[in-house]
């Protein structure tokens, strides 16, 4: 059972455009949602994270939008650049589960073309 | 930012040999570390949770005797692939949870750069 569904699987965006990646979850106990960026041959790097008590969090060109009622959250990359081309993973965590294990989405490969 | 060092980054070994991969948190303490396996163009598959001073918790389907995990200190966890075979060839990644960054319900984990294992 996939607990975090991520879409699209791949995304091509023109330089300067907005990249949008969506994630949906089923477990209402999830209360922490990080996004990771992974370049080929490297480990994932924490990009930005949000808790469900806020609907939006912005850090530079990266924004997380969170819709608790719909159990969805999304990553927006404004003014996308070729250097943003990478695979992005959303994740979720239940702080009350007694484990620090993150549940990951399947990833979205973003390609930003000049 | 916090750094997790994973070594080696690439290893080639003969079938039947054992390979040890190290994961170190360089500037923070990590009671809990995680070991993942990642196949090409796929997501991270959690293999085990490594806890300092205690036995690792393995995910269903992961052979404990094949993937030995040791977490002897708050900054070091090791994964040993014993009697490696070609089907063990993969990209192995560790992550470490920063013990101090728990306030506000956060779960900050930093990943190593990964180890590409090729078993001939």
pLDDT in tens, B18-38: 999 999 999 999 999 999 999
| Whether residue A8 has a cis bond before it, omega within 30° of 0 | yes
Low-confidence ranges of chain A (pLDDT < 70): 1-2
Q: What 3-state DSSP class applies to B52?
A: coil
Cα-only R_g, chain B:
14
In angstroms, the CA B11 to CA B115 distance is 7
Beta-strand (E) ranges in B57-114? 57-58, 67-73, 76-81, 90-97, 109-111
pLDDT attached to residue A100:
85
> Can you tell me which residue has the tokens 């990943």?
B111
What residues of chain A have any CB closer than 8 angstroms to a CB in chain B? 31-32, 34, 36, 41-46, 49, 51, 89, 93, 95, 99-102, 104-107, 109
pLDDT attached to residue A98:
82
pLDDT attached to residue A1:
52
- Greatest Cα pair distance, chain A, in angstroms, is 45
**Residue A110 in contact with residue A87, Cβ under 8 Å?**
yes
pLDDT attached to residue B68:
96
**Residue A76 in contact with residue A88, Cβ under 8 Å?**
no
Q: What 3-state DSSP class applies to B4?
A: strand
Q: Nearest residue of B to residue A46 by CA position?
A: B110
| Structural element, H or E, at residue B84 | none
Q: Which residues lie closer than 8 Å to A85 by C-beta, 6 or more apart?
A: A110, A111, A112
What share of residues in chain A are helix, strand, coil (percent, to 5)?
5, 55, 45
* Res. B9 pLDDT band, cuts 50 70 90: very high
Q: Indicate which of B32, B34, B43 best probes the interface with A, i.e. most A CBs within 10 Å of its own CB.
A: B43
In angstroms, the CA A61 to CA A11 distance is 17
- Chain B residues touching residue A39 (CB < 8 angstroms): none
pLDDT attached to residue B47:
95
In angstroms, the CA A34 to CA B83 distance is 36
Q: Nearest residue of A to residue B30 by CA position?
A: A100
pLDDT attached to residue A95:
85
Of A36, A100, A109, nearest to B32 by CB-CB distance is: A100
What would the pLDDT profile of B41-97 be if each residue is shown by its tens digit? Answer: 889 999 999 999 889 999 999 999 999 999 989 999 999 999 999 999 999 999 999
In angstroms, the CA A69 to CA A55 distance is 11
CB contact under 8 Å between B107 and A44, yes or no, is no
Shortest CA gap B9–chain A (Å) = 9
């Amino acid at each position: 059972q996939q607990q975090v569904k991520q879409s699209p699987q791949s995304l091509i965006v023109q330089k300067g455009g907005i990249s949008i990646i969506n994630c949906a979850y089923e477990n209402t106990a999830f209360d922490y949602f990080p996004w990771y960026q992974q370049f080929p041959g490297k480990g994932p790097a924490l990009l930005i994270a949000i808790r469900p008590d806020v609907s939006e969090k912005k850090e530079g060109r990266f924004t997380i939008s969170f819709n608790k009622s719909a159990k969805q959250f999304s990553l927006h990359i404004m003014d996308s650049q070729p250097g943003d081309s990478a695979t992005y993973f959303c994740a979720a965590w239940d702080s009350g589960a007694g484990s620090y294990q993150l549940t990951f989405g399947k990833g979205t490969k973003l390609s930003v073309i000049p | 930012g916090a750094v997790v060092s994973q070594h080696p980054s690439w290893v080639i070994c003969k079938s039947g040999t054992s390979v040890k991969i190290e994961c170190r948190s360089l500037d923070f303490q990590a009671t809990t570390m995680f070991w993942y396996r990642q196949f090409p163009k796929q997501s991270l598959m959690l293999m085990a949770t490594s806890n300092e001073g205690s036995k690792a918790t393995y995910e269903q389907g992961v052979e404990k005797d094949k993937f030995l995990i040791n977490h002897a200190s708050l900054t070091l966890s090791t994964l040993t692939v014993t009697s490696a075979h070609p089907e063990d060839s993969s990209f192995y990644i560790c992550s470490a949870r920063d013990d101090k960054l728990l306030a506000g319900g956060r779960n900050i984990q930093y990943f190593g750069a990964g180890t590409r294992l090729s078993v001939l």
